[in-house]
Amino acid sequence: MWRLAGGVLVGWGLGSNDSANIFGTGVAANAIRYRTATVLIAVFVVVGALVEGHKAMDTVGEMSRLSHTAAFIAALAAGLTVSIFSYLALPVSTSQAIIGAVLGIGLISGIPDFTLLYKVVICWILTPVAAIIFSFILYPLLARILQKVFMGLKLRNAFLRWGLVFAGCYGAYSLGANNVANVTGVYVGSGLLSPFEAALLGSLGIAFGVLTYSRKVMNTVGKKIIPLDEFSAFISTLSAAITLHLFTQVGVPVSTSQAVVGGVTGVGLVKGLRTVRKRTLIQVAAGWVFTPLLCGVIAYFMMKIYLIFSGAGA
């Protein structure tokens, strides 16, 4: 059972980092309280993981036919990497972390299925692009509908607040459905857990991370990329949620951070490039590049050390 500790750490790291982005824009816009947001995320992450988590689980499982110990090392390396970036208040991709760990171990054992890697990488690239497109389309479209249907200011504000809650809950559900595979998918591939057990354990780990250490990354996404009003926060969150759910149906776990940052950037493009804080975007992009590299290196050396002292095979 100690091998499952790596998955719990990944879940906690994902909860403190990726899932914090779901309501980050809404909290920054003062449309919802931080504590209320974290509770809603925790609940809907678990629901999404249990209902649709198995859809993306197969991809990670097929790429990581690892032994029980190797699965633990991959999860532990990913958890450590995500935790480091959470401490630095940078949103990163847990998907990239766990795949980086699997590939790092694969340099020793040759286990990963690289044919699936191309599909995953393409989806990683398309994630922020899709979110930008959704935001770019939804912003003017829903703005016109809002002006025509909800004429009164009081009614419009009520719609936006409840819309943000809906978008956040939908985003949390999509996060659980898509990203729980990043947390415990390696254990399904190793045969240590069934898909349902993996979804339950992974989602509870994510929920714990959300409830205990998500404020710092929420602040980065919600305030430092572009200042958001309630409507902009609603659009960016909804765009990210749609993007996540779309890739869940494809069966590929992608980055919530990339989806949310893409959604926020799309809003910035509609408003004008001057509103986007490019320095923060560069810092976030750097985190995406270094996440799989750092995680792969950590996993590689952890596996090497284990093999040296145990004499076992990966």
| pTM attached to this predicted model | 0.84
Confidence of residue 178 (pLDDT cuts 50, 70, 90): very high
Dist CA 41 CA 80 (whole Å): 22
Cβ atoms of 41 and 22 within 8 Å: the answer is yes
Confidence of residue 15 (pLDDT cuts 50, 70, 90): confident
Q: What is the mean pLDDT of residues 200-222?
A: 82
Q: Model confidence over 92-115: pLDDT tens digits?
A: 778 888 888 988 888 886 555 567
Closest Cα partner for 100 from 64, 143, 51? 64
Q: What is the mean pLDDT of residues 153-166?
A: 87
Dist CA 299 CA 147 (whole Å): 53
Supply the pLDDT for residue 27: 80
Q: Is 45's pLDDT higher than 90?
A: yes
| More confident site: 202 or 223 | 202
Supply the pLDDT for residue 1: 66
Closest Cα partner for 185 from 260, 252, 91, 250? 252
**CA angle, residues 296, 301, 304, in degrees to nearest 5:** 125
**CA angle, residues 37, 202, 49, in degrees to nearest 5:** 65
Q: What's the mean per-residue pLDDT of the chain? A: 83
Half-sphere exposure of 84 (CA within 13 A, CB side): 15
Which runs of E-coded beta strand occur in 142-283?
none
Confidence of residue 301 (pLDDT cuts 50, 70, 90): very high
Dist CA 172 CA 46 (whole Å): 9
Confidence of residue 59 (pLDDT cuts 50, 70, 90): confident
Ranges 46-60, 141-155, 250-264, 268-282: which has the least confidence: 268-282
Please, which residues have CB within 8 angstroms of residue 265's CB and are 6 or more apart in sequence? 128, 131, 132, 135, 225, 226, 276, 281
